[in-house]
Amino acid sequence: MPELSQESERGRAVLPFGAAEVRGPSMVPTLQHGDRLVVQYGARVGPGDVVVLRHPFQQDLLVVKRVAQRREAGWWVLGDNAFAGGDSTDYGAVPEELVLGKVRFRYRPLKDGQRSPFTLVRWALSAVRPVLSDRSASRRLRAR
């Protein structure tokens, strides 16, 4: 499951936006290990949105998942990589108060050794992307 660096908690009270770093494969192909995220704290979330939340059983651990649907007990969240696990299929619906914010952008840092002009241009064109809502999340939920 993607664990996020705790830097996303710093400055949360001051600004509604923060940064986080993805650790792990559960959101592949949308997010890769090492991607950086721009998170809007307190944003309204809905099905298909990628969110940062506290793990229900280990609340000092921040995770990133996609909201599949609203249930009576909270949000049902899934990873985009069905083989990685670590989502609501393991721990059930996530209470509303554990959902911290909505992921707005992801950016991939420049890797060591990427210094040629061609590589720099290619990186610049693909490094920053908005993280869009995937409205097909509920279909994936029904397929599981």
SS (H, E, C) the chain: CCEECHHHCCCCCCCCEEEEEEECCCCCCCCCCCCEEEEEECCCCCCCCEEEEECCCCCCCEEEEEEEEEECCEEEEECCCCCCCCCHHHHCCECHHHEEEEEEEEECCCCCCCCCHHHHHHHHHHCEEECCCCCCHHHHHHHC
* pLDDT tens digits in sequence order for the chain, 144 residues long: 455 654 444 444 557 999 999 999 999 999 999 999 999 999 999 999 999 999 999 999 999 999 999 999 999 999 999 898 889 999 999 999 999 999 999 998 877 776 788 888 887 787 888 888 876 554 555 445
**pTM given for the model:** 0.78
